[in-house]
Amino acid sequence: MQQSATTERRHVESVRHEEHAGFWRTYVFSIDHKVIGLQYMMSALVFLFFGFSLMMLMRWQLAYPGKSIPGEVFVLLPAVISAATLVIALISKRKLIGLVGLTFAGLAALVWYLVSDEVLFPDGVMVPELYNSFGAMHGTIMVFLGVVPLAVGGFGNYVVPLQVGAPDMAFPRLNMMSYWAYFIGGVVMLASFFVPGGAANSGWTSYPPLADIATTGQTVWLLGMVFLITSSLLGSINFIVTIVQLRANGLTYMRLPFFVWAQFITAFLLLLAFPPLEAAAVLQLMDRLAGTSFFLPSGLVISGQALEVSGGGSPLLWQHLFWFLAHPEVYVLVLPAMGIIAEVIANNTRKPLWGYKSMVYAVIFLGFMSFIVWAHHMFMTGMGTVISTFFQTTTMIISIPSVIILTALMISLWGGSIRFTVPMLFALAFLPMFGIGGLTGLPLGLAPTDIHLHDTYYVIGHFHYVVAPGSIFALFAGLYYWYPKVTGRLMNDTLGRIHFWGSFFAMNGIFFPMLIQGLAGVSRRLWDGGAEYAHAQDTLYLNEVMSISAWVLAVFQLPFIFNFFWSIRKGKKVESDNPWDATTLEWQTPTPPPHGNFAMVPQVYRGPYEYSDPKSPKDYVPQNVA
Amino acid sequence: MQDLLGLPIDASAHGPEIDHMIAIVHWLMAVLFVGWGSFFLYSVIRFRKARQSKADYAGVKSHMSSYLEVGVALFEIVLIVGFAVPLWAKRVNEFPPEKGALVVRVVAEQFAWNIHYPGADGVFGPTDVKLVSADNPVGLDRSDPDGKDDIVTINQLTLPVGKPVIVRLTSKDVIHSFGIPLLRVKQDAIPGQVIPLWFEPVETTENIKERLTKRYQIKKGEYDPRFTAMVAMMDYVDTENNLIAGKGNLLFPDVIDMLAEAGHNEILAGPDTPMEIACAQLCGLGHYRMRGYVAIKTQEEFEAWLSEEASYLPE
């Protein structure tokens, strides 16, 4: 794929233009994919922390239902992080780190505001309304404002153009717009905590009629979602065009790093799956604001009062539209993660990925299949045998490509010379943890077994294994792996190992007990954690185990946060542009890559993972070496 | 495997099939996890850099993994064809004839389960939204001859043992989910739709209560939170033979303290309401307390209960 000389020239001009652009143009309204990637990353990390904080508060209520919450303790964590980052900002004289410090101060203030509110926390006890609202916002924030923006907006933006040898994304201004749409969506979601009745409280799934009749927060949630969806759509077009059009000479599709393939398929999922949800969000807004009844059937009686609406709508319509997005969305959370894991494993086993081609075909097939499994979330809505057989079958079929990818990654270890670097530790842990997540999907994907497990804690355990020690571990692997490319310095190894081992045990302490509770039949989304149900009694003690693990997990994020900011200025300097001896193109740029990325357009001669080729004297041959 | 998984007691005719399938799937999961896990651990240890300074460019050459994938696929086909589809068809297609079954309407609302029995004539009276009131949660038309003898209870589902039950499930307001873990039953209650489901209880709740009765250690000042949902399963007296807690008494913290003071260091306790309807779909702020109680009685007890309820009906 040849880039035309004019594109090249235009780009160089825009680079020059940007170099004199000043602070705002360089750091805030930048059109450089790397700056935008970092903006996404920083915003997403803050949102991840915030979403996690909501859950830490909820876990108090679950472990000690009805007992007064020690608000100061929960404010302490963001406050400590804020103070530490501000100190680091002062020492290293970095305004941007200062900004992060102030953001955490804001978060501390927000938590304090919520916890000290006598209406939300009478006598320090979280009311059920607030519990539901935190639950809905935890899900929304973690998925739409945390993991996806970090995986796609952050890593995708930063790494994909570098790995395909492009000077930038195909549409740099669209890219900037995508970030700011996301930013506005995020601000709208945060603002919803302050509207009367608080933030949305009908679950991240927002099933009507509950969501249609919910408090104002739901309206704000829908508006926020419209911005977030728009952001994703703009971003996904950009990724597709960049990967199709801007690949360096010689970089054929079968020479693309697996990470690029994963982002490519992810972009198609976002592009094709989000529009139905955007439409659905607009319909729900109409139901709430314009008196329509898209999702409201006739004859509703709410709290003893007949609801004055025209009726005739279908609550199930929303579920179909929602899950038509939300199932592919699961793969949006997972595929970029697998992409990162593939890069890190190839690099740290010092050998080519085993079965690269099968992995590529598998990921394409996976993307396609993800559009026809959605109703396995709806087995309990009254489904006949024919439809349920179709969705059970597609669900079992989609497990095959996932098994292929995971098996290929596992077999890649065989015969390697494994370096246990911090990114590799996270990548290795991903394999069995994601394995548990995938395997526990089996009894949920089969309708008869789903009867017992549907909407129990088993479901929560299942998808958290996929996303938390799965995707989030992959994202940590990516952060430690590409950090030296972005900053020119390595993150501290010891702190990284503490972070890893602490997180590994704490995550299992949170999520494994959920599977046990689920098998006992404990429903999800219960304000008191099932305290009064007879069948829950024998597994109730686990609520405390999970909560303590969650707080321990938080404590083990402190070394990471400190390491992350401290190492920007004080980390060990890298000795070359390619500190991990890697083969892919992002390591063949100067460190950090300047605007425009490559000193000269790279020419690619070989596949992505030419490690330990017996014909080569060194144990790696970069893609651009003839 | 079923014991290991900690599934609750199973009191329905179809339940063992579901449990069996859950067990089979978990066996498959366990085998795969242990298999993959062993390969993973071995590889990570065997091919560490200290032991293997140079990586092997080609890696694994065998096609074992393809066979493994085919094996997994075959197993999944067996699961679908042999278990999932027939079991599901039995639940949603093969309803028992209404003649030999008990038919009940269940109308969910925030945050209660309204149970509607057709009464002696076996015909449900007509219902209307306009008639809904605090005294008439399902909007039953009592002036209609069919509705006269209907019995409506709130949160109390009473059923006979050994007879198929058909539930016609709907909701007045938002989506709820009618889940009874001990019967392996779950079905969303969706407003605007009436969805039928069926099952057959095979054990009385009194029996289950006995089965779940265990001895618990007690100590003064130490309250096991599990006692909140339990009752004493025999009479307990103090040293002067005064009753502290009779059989069936709830075990509040002060009761436990009194028992401990009287020298009891253990107590025979069972669940107060062993079988419950648990709302499984988020339905609003009271979702956590949307709990119904199921009583499975012998046919005679059930009929006695019906006539007792009928005697309270307005003439």
Check whether residue B84 and residue B133 sit in a common domain: no
Phi, psi of B218 (to 5 degrees): -130, 155
Check whether residue B228 and residue B83 sit in a common domain: no
- pLDDT at residue number A10: 47
Give the C-alpha separation, A460 to A545, whole Å. 16
- CB contact (8 A) between residue B47 and residue A202: no
**Nearest chain B residue to A527, by CA:** B288
- CB contact (8 A) between residue A521 and residue B192: no
CB atoms within 10 A of CB A271: 17
Q: Which contiguous run of DSSP H or E holds residue B186?
A: strand B185-189
A173 lies within 8 A of chain B by CB: no
- CB contact (8 A) between residue A210 and residue B39: no
Give the C-alpha separation, B20 to B180, whole Å. 18
* A524 contacts in chain B (CB < 8 Å): 280
Of the residues A310, A523, A528, A621, the best mutation for testing chain B's interface (the one with the most B CB atoms within 10 Å of its CB) is: A523
* B7 contacts in chain A (CB < 8 Å): 452, 519-521
Within-domain flag for B56: no
Nearest to A521 by CA among B129, B33, B22: B22
Q: Which amino acid is at A472?
A: I
Residue B300 three-state SS: helix
- CB contact (8 A) between residue B88 and residue A619: no
- CB contact (8 A) between residue A382 and residue B187: yes
- CB contact (8 A) between residue B8 and residue A521: yes
Burial profile A300-318: b = 16 or more Cβ within 10 angstroms, e = fewer: bbbeeeebebeeebbbbeb
Q: Which amino acid is at A179?
A: Y
Give the C-alpha separation, A606 to A206, whole Å. 48
Q: How far is A463 from chain B (nearest CA, A)?
A: 16
CA distances from B128 to A339, B139, B147, B150 (A): 57, 5, 12, 15
- Is A194 within 8 Å of A178 (Cβ atoms)? no
- Is A302 within 8 Å of A213 (Cβ atoms)? yes
How many separate helices (H) and strands (E) can be counted in chain B?
7, 15
Check whether residue B84 and residue B102 sit in a common domain: no
Give the C-alpha separation, A35 to A43, whole Å. 12
- Burial of residue B62 (CB within 10 Å: 0-12, 13-18, 19+) is exposed
Check whether residue B292 and residue B196 sit in a common domain: yes
What tokens appear for B85 in the block? 């589809």
Residues 6+ apart with CB under 8 A from B75: B28
Give the C-alpha separation, A137 to A133, whole Å. 6
- What is the CATH classification number for the domain harbouring B170? 2.60.40.420
- Is B304 within 8 Å of A546 (Cβ atoms)? no
- Burial of residue B38 (CB within 10 Å: 0-12, 13-18, 19+) is exposed
B89: pLDDT strictly greater than 90:
yes
Within-domain flag for B137: yes
- CB contact (8 A) between residue A418 and residue B37: no
CB atoms within 10 A of CB A486: 18
Residue ranges in chain A whose pLDDT is less than 50 = 1-10, 12-14, 16
- CB contact (8 A) between residue A380 and residue B226: no
- Is B109 within 8 Å of A301 (Cβ atoms)? yes
Q: Which amino acid is at B203?
A: E
Give the C-alpha separation, B259 to A150, whole Å. 57
What tokens appear for A221 in the block? 């949630």
* A612 contacts in chain B (CB < 8 Å): 54-57
* A614 contacts in chain B (CB < 8 Å): 57
Q: A residues 119-138 near B, CB within 8 Å?
A: 127-129, 132, 135
Within-domain flag for B22: yes
Check whether residue B20 and residue B148 sit in a common domain: no
Q: A residues 347-386 near B, CB within 8 Å?
A: 349-352, 354-355, 380-385
Residues 6+ apart with CB under 8 A from A66: A125, A528
CA distances from A191 to A56, A217, A489, B179 (A): 20, 9, 37, 36
Check whether residue B295 and residue B219 sit in a common domain: no
Within-domain flag for B170: yes
Give the C-alpha separation, B87 to B93, whole Å. 10
- CB contact (8 A) between residue A132 and residue B282: yes
- Is A362 within 8 Å of A335 (Cβ atoms)? no
List the strands of the sheet with B176-180, edge to edge: B156-160, B291-297, B276-279, B176-180, B185-189
Asked whether the bond before A78 is cis by omega within 30 degrees of 0, the reply is: no
What tokens appear for B299 in the block? 């046919």
* A298 contacts in chain B (CB < 8 Å): 192
What tokens appear for A278 in the block? 């955007």
Q: How far is B177 from chain A (nearest CA, A)?
A: 8
Residue A538 three-state SS: helix
Of the residues B132, B287, B291, the best mutation for testing chain A's interface (the one with the most A CB atoms within 10 Å of its CB) is: B287
- CB contact (8 A) between residue B56 and residue A415: yes
For A177-180, the CB contacts below 8 A with 24+ separation are: A177/A234, A178/A36, A178/A153, A178/A231, A178/A232, A178/A234, A178/A235, A178/A238, A179/A36, A179/A39, A179/A40, A179/A153, A179/A231
Of the residues B39, B129, B190, the best mutation for testing chain A's interface (the one with the most A CB atoms within 10 Å of its CB) is: B190
Check whether residue B190 and residue B301 sit in a common domain: yes
Range of the domain at B141: 98-202+284-311
- Is A203 within 8 Å of A319 (Cβ atoms)? no
Provide the domain count of chain B: 3
Q: Which amino acid is at B83?
A: F
Nearest to A49 by CA among A86, A17, A77, A72: A77
Residues 6+ apart with CB under 8 A from A40: A149, A150, A153, A154, A157, A179, A182
Within-domain flag for B239: yes
B290: pLDDT strictly greater than 50:
yes
- Which residue among B57, B134, B273 sits closest to A352, beta carbon to beta carbon? B57
- Which residue among B77, B84, B191 sits closest to A446, beta carbon to beta carbon? B84
| CA dihedral (A601, A605, A610, A612) positive or negative | negative
A217 lies within 8 A of chain B by CB: no
Within-domain flag for B277: no
Q: Which contiguous run of DSSP H or E holds residue B251?
A: none
Nearest to A98 by CA among A87, A108, A109: A87
A402 lies within 8 A of chain B by CB: no
- CB contact (8 A) between residue B173 and residue A416: no
| Residue indicated by tokens 């071995």 | B42
Check whether residue B112 and residue B34 sit in a common domain: no
Percent of chain B with pLDDT over 90: 80
Q: How far is B241 from chain A (nearest CA, A)?
A: 31
Q: How far is B59 from chain A (nearest CA, A)?
A: 5
Residue B184 three-state SS: coil
A210 lies within 8 A of chain B by CB: yes
Check whether residue B173 and residue B233 sit in a common domain: no
Of the residues A294, A369, A418, the best mutation for testing chain B's interface (the one with the most B CB atoms within 10 Å of its CB) is: A418
Q: Which CATH superfamily is domain A5-67+125-294+311-529+538-588 in?
A: Cytochrome c oxidase-like, subunit I domain (1.20.210.10)
Give the C-alpha separation, A62 to A49, whole Å. 20
What tokens appear for B10 in the block? 């199973």
What tokens appear for A407 in the block? 């098996």
Q: Which amino acid is at A596?
A: G
* B68 contacts in chain A (CB < 8 Å): 407
Check whether residue B299 and residue B179 sit in a common domain: yes
Q: What angle do CA A387, A388, A390 make, to 5 degrees?
A: 65
- Is A38 within 8 Å of A157 (Cβ atoms)? no
Q: How far is A576 from chain B (nearest CA, A)?
A: 22
Nearest to A317 by CA among A289, A292, A286, A294: A294
- CB contact (8 A) between residue A303 and residue B110: yes
- Which residue among A297, A435, A619 sits closest to B33, beta carbon to beta carbon? A435
Residues 6+ apart with CB under 8 A from A600: none
A393 lies within 8 A of chain B by CB: yes
Residues 6+ apart with CB under 8 A from B82: none
Residue A572 three-state SS: strand
Give the C-alpha separation, B104 to A310, whole Å. 29
Q: How far is A373 from chain B (nearest CA, A)?
A: 15
Q: Which contiguous run of DSSP H or E holds residue A21?
A: none
Check whether residue B179 and residue B119 sit in a common domain: yes
A387 lies within 8 A of chain B by CB: no
Domain ends where: B74, B92, B110?
B92
A297 lies within 8 A of chain B by CB: yes
Q: How far is B247 from chain A (nearest CA, A)?
A: 18
Within-domain flag for B12: yes
Q: A residues 331-350 near B, CB within 8 Å?
A: 349-350
pTM of the model: 0.95
CA distances from A422 to A238, A240, A473, A492, B8 (A): 32, 31, 11, 9, 42
**Nearest chain A residue to B133, by CA:** A304
Check whether residue B158 and residue B298 sit in a common domain: yes
DSSP letter, residue A145: I
